[in-house]
Structure 1
Amino acid sequence: MGRSFDAVPDQLAEWMVAQPVWFVATAPLAGDGHVNVSPKGDDTFRVISPTEVAYLDLTGSGAETVAHVRENGRLTIMFCSFGDKPNIVRVFGRGRAVLPRDERFDELAGRFPARDGARGIIVLDVEQVTSSCGYAVPHMELVGPRDTLAEWAGRKNDEELAAYRAEKNAVSIDGLPALDP
């Protein structure tokens, strides 16, 4: 049966960090804006405290999550078990982008492995955590991590990454400001 919590319980914290893939969902305030759901993974999620979680935001082809949390803060993170024991966990709350120029960036970045192409950290202030059965989620086996993004970012220097972000990550697909060039 589903359960609801005001904070991340210890047993769920360990389980969430162990998941190889998870998803973030955001939306702009505009009713005709695009709802965004993005898959994440590669050891980039951390439980900072029972009421705060964070993930390392890597350079990608868009910056919807950053734009949406800058505009309105709404963020949901969802984890699904694809292994033997079915489970779905959603973490709801207010998100914010912590960028390399921000005061808290170095403290948070120290919690993650160094990654080429890291452009920021998304922090979620937890308001509610729910769990549900996950009985309809398929049982699948992990083949392994994908190195494509790390290899791409590793071939670029800081200036090339900054130029890519200025071109691809400055605004969301709805025109909201995302990463400052």
Structure 2
Amino acid sequence: MGVFYDQIPDHLVEWIGKQQIFWVASAPLTGNGHVNVSPKATPNCFHMVDRNRVWYEDLTGSGIETISHLREEGNGRITILFHSMEGPPRILRFWGKGTVHEFGTPEYDEYIPRENRKPGSRAVIVIDIYKVGTSCGFGVPVYKFEAHRTQLERWCDSLEEFDRKAAAESSLEMHPKGIKSWWTAENLRSHDGLPGLRVAHATDITPTNAFDRNAPRPKMKKQESGATAATSKFSSALDVKLVAAFSMGVVVTAAYVKLAGKYLK
């Protein structure tokens, strides 16, 4: 059964801090607009201010849906979902109203000092929560967390490096391969044509971040397809049988040689 609260209850605070992924959902006001659901899994990107206010660092992507929906006049609706992947099952939702603070604004800097900024960070999404709900989560499968991917941060850092080089050369032109050019090309409008970024792509502030490109990359286990896994299991079983048959053959042969030698004497 679902249980609802007016704020984040104390007993869930520690559990929230241990989760490796959360989901963000938003939608435009028009009935035929695109409903958006996005996974967020970068470490240390979700933060709690108090029991009714949270925020997360919004990183660069191919779309700008959440920001566009939050900024649509009369909208601002957003839902955050956590669910347990390990341990006891649980689903947790926050319903709230969201506010966007873009990179290049004083409000953004209040939340994220430049020395702590992640590569590709384009905004802070602040959510004022008016309802919290938990449910069983019995239908969510159990998964084992291995590691966070670093491809997004590496890619964004590579784009930002072009902006940093342009700034070092005192160039007034936006670098065509920089992240601001990406924001301009991909993040000014949503799929439905709603306005997205307003400031980040045009700011004079050079994007710097705390990413360590020399840090070791996570090693992922190779996933086998169903057919490959079945073949692998069959091969393993066949190998065991062959070894057993060979061993039996050796024993029988040895016994035969011993017996034959006895009678030949």
Q: TM-score, normalised by structure 1?
A: 0.94
Are 2:92 and 2:132, in contact at CA under 8 Å, matched by a contact in 1? yes
Tell me the CA shift for residue 84 of structure 1.
1.3
Aligned length: 181
Q: Does 1:25 align with 2:43?
A: no
Aligned counterparts of 2:14 and 2:26: Cα–Cα separation in 1: 24
Aligned counterparts of 1:127 and 1:26: Cα–Cα separation in 2: 16
User: CA RMSD for the aligned pairs?
Assistant: 1.6
Are 1:17 and 1:47, in contact at CA under 8 Å, matched by a contact in 2? no
Aligned counterparts of 1:149 and 1:116: Cα–Cα separation in 2: 8
Q: TM-score, normalised by structure 2?
A: 0.65
Q: Could you list the runs of 4 or more consecutive aligned residues of structure 1 that deviate by over 3 angstroms after TM superposition? A: none
Match of 2:16 in 1: 16
Aligned counterparts of 2:104 and 2:7: Cα–Cα separation in 1: 29
Tell me the CA shift for residue 106 of structure 1.
1.6
CA deviation profile, 1:28-86 (whole Å, cap 9, x unmatched):
00110000000001121111111101000001110100000001100000001010110
Aligned counterparts of 1:167 and 1:147: Cα–Cα separation in 2: 23
Q: Does 1:39 align with 2:45?
A: no
Aligned counterparts of 1:94 and 1:101: Cα–Cα separation in 2: 22
Q: Quick one: higher RCO (CA 8 Å, sep 6+), 1 or 2?
A: 1
Aligned counterparts of 2:110 and 2:51: Cα–Cα separation in 1: 18
Question: More helix per residue: 1 or 2?
Answer: 2
Q: Does 1:49 align with 2:31?
A: no
Identity %: 41
Stretches of structure 2 that go unaligned for 5 or more consecutive residues are: 164-174, 202-265
Q: Does 1:118 align with 2:121?
A: yes
Match of 1:169 in 2: 187
Aligned counterparts of 1:16 and 1:178: Cα–Cα separation in 2: 29
Q: Alignment partner of 1:155: what SS? A: helix
Stretches of structure 1 that go unaligned for 5 or more consecutive residues are: none
Q: Please identify the structure whose Cα radius of gyration is greater.
A: 2
Aligned counterparts of 2:13 and 2:51: Cα–Cα separation in 1: 8
Equivalent of 2:80, from 66, 77, 80? 77
Q: Alignment partner of 1:121: what SS? A: strand
